[in-house]
Homo-oligomer: A and B are copies of this chain.
Amino acid sequence: MKSDKISEFTTNRLSVYLRCLNKLAAAGETSISSESFALRFDLNSAQIRKDLANFGDFGVRGLGYPIDTLRENLIKILGLDRERHVGIIGAGRLGMALTDYYGLRRANFTVSALFDADPGKIGKKIGQVVILDIKDFSAAVKKYNIDVAVIAVPSSAAQIALQMVKQSGIKAVLNFAPVPLKSGPDIKVNSIDLTTSLENLSYFLAKSDDAKEG
């Protein structure tokens, strides 16, 4: 184990590995080789061995990786063994859809509150989760021990929302607004940019069109 500086490519793959291991465990499998594991993704087996070797010697030469202990190790490495509290900023369609998104629960993330500026929304509930006034954000962060913020507001409001998040002391942010945010050090902002994904598909299709036409 020599975890210097782990790349995001690596940790993202660990997340994928874990989901696959969960399935294998449920199917009663007890061990797997890097080679047959790699076949389940579009990966080279050395990639998998290297990824895992960053965190420990989990494998057994001649046999492969024991599934149960590898699962437990990945859960610890990814921090999925502790509960996280999430505050979602923006109670639009996206914010509401995320509120009872099962993937959050599976990652041990609990949505503690939704926030919005619209007086017509404040006080309403999405399932168990209440919509609070955005003005009470900092207070709610302390009250509910919120450690992850989700930015689900229009692009024009995203930078201000991030500013508020930073001031509240939160260190981890998931951003859905399709704008480059100035974050700064010591805080992690993961952006999910639907617009870029769509335009990337558009580029691919346009390229194919052009190839056909000449």
Where the two chains meet, the residues of A that have a C-beta atom closer than 8 Å to any C-beta of B are: 8, 11-12, 14-16, 18-20, 40-42, 76-80, 82, 84, 93-94, 96-97, 100-101, 103-104, 106-109, 147-148, 171-174, 178-180, 188, 190, 192-209
Q: Which residues of B contact A96 (CB under 8 A)?
A: 93, 97
B93–A16 contact, CB under 8 A?
no
**Are A107 and B202 neighbours in the complex by a CB distance under 8 Å?**
yes
Q: A40-B180, A194-B103 are in contact. Are A202 and B79 (CB under 8 A)?
A: yes
Q: Which residues of B are found within 8 Å of A103, using beta-carbon distances? A: 178, 194-195, 198
Q: Are B200 and A8 in touch, CB under 8 angstroms?
A: yes
Q: Which of B16, B41, B201, B203 contacts A148 (CB under 8 A)?
A: B201
Residues of B within 8 A of A41 (CB): 180
Alpha-carbon gap, A178 to B201, bound state (A)? 19
Given contacts A101-B194, A180-B40, A196-B15, contact A188 B204 (CB under 8 A): yes
Question: Which of B108, B173, B193, B205 touches A202 (beta carbons < 8 Å)?
Answer: B108
Asked if B197 and A174 sit within 8 Å, CB to CB, the answer is yes
A172 touches B201 (CB 8 A): yes
- Judge whether A203 and B77 touch: CB under 8 Å: yes
Docked complex Cα distance between A18 and B190 (Å): 21
Most buried by B among A104, A192, A198: A198
Known contacts A77-B203, A109-B202, A174-B197; can you find 17 more A-B pairs with CB under 8 A?
A12-B193, A12-B196, A12-B200, A15-B193, A18-B199, A42-B180, A77-B206, A78-B199, A78-B202, A78-B203, A79-B203, A79-B205, A79-B207, A80-B199, A84-B205, A101-B194, A107-B202
CB distance from A80 to the nearest CB of B (A): 6
Contact A174 B198 (CB under 8 A): yes
The residue on B at minimum CB distance from A201 is B172
Closest residue on chain B to residue A207 by CB atoms: B79
